[in-house]
């Protein structure tokens, strides 16, 4: 049975590292695993990603930002995620529909119902089976993210890292509110070593798989 797991969280929570570790773990257990990301994941969506994350796009208005995310997602779902799920592969995605609610909804103040409708238009029936929300204090996340960007020369993708601490506080609170509303969420404490966080994720995924197999 195909499995779709999304990773969510503010900047600097370690999603990229942890999604790679979980992919290795799941490949040992169940075979084919696809790792992808949003925005991006395919050539057209990657082109849109470059616009969305470029600091020179600071003048992008929230409604335009929202529509670009939706366009990238529609292409990504149709070209990458849906085909993988239809062939029985496990899909791990670095951010998905909840990121739009958290960032453009709670962060930017756009209407949540409108975003929900747009997410359904872009993603269709594709929804994560499990969402892992990596959570840590906003100031720590931004510190980590800015250090990573400097080390990896990712300054061309740090538009959101340049947002205010207050913006990231709203995003984090939005994520936690979504987790309270949706039973597919598991909130993972992202404070600690890479190994410690990976162990927490592994335990959460194991519990989910066991409950799924017991249905």
DSSP secondary structure, 16-48, as one string: HHHHHHHHHHHHHHHS-EEEEESS-SSHHHHHH
Q: What is the pTM of this model?
A: 0.94
Torsion angle of alpha carbons 102, 106, 111, 112, nearest 10°?
40
In the chain, which ranges are E strands?
4-8, 33-37, 90-94, 130-135, 185-189
Which segments in the chain show pLDDT lower than 50?
none
Q: Domain 4-213 belongs to what topology?
A: Rossmann fold (3.40.50)
The confidence score (pLDDT) of residue 156 equals: 74
DSSP 163: S
What are the extents of the domains in the chain?
4-213
d(CA 127, CA 106): 20
Q: How many CB atoms lie within 10 A of CB 35?
A: 18
d(CA 150, CA 137): 20
């Amino acid at each position: 049975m195909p499995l779709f797991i999304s990773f969510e969280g503010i900047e600097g929570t370690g999603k990229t590292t942890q999604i790679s570790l979980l992919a290795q773990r799941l490949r040992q257990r169940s075979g084919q695993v696809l790792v992808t990301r949003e925005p991006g994941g395919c050539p057209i969506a990657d082109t849109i990603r470059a616009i969305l994350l470029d600091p020179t796009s600071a003048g992008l208005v929230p409604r335009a930002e929202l529509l670009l995310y939706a366009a990238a997602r529609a292409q990504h779902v149709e070209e990458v995620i849906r085909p993988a799920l239809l062939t029985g592969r496990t899909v791990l995605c670095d951010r998905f529909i909840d990121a739009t609610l958290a960032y453009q909804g709670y962060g930017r103040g756009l209407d949540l119902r409108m975003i929900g409708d747009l997410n359904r238009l872009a993603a269709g029936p594709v929804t994560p089976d499990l969402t892992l929300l990596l959570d840590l204090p906003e100031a720590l996340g931004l510190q980590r993210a800015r250090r990573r960007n400097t080390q990896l020369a990712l300054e061309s993708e740090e538009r959101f890292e340049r947002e205010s601490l207050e913006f990231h506080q709203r995003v984090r609170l939005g994520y936690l509110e979504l987790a309270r509303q949706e039973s597919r969420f598991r909130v993972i404490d992202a404070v600690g070593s890479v190994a410690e966080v990976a162990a927490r994720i592994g335990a959460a995924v194991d519990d989910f798989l066991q409950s799924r197999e017991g249905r």
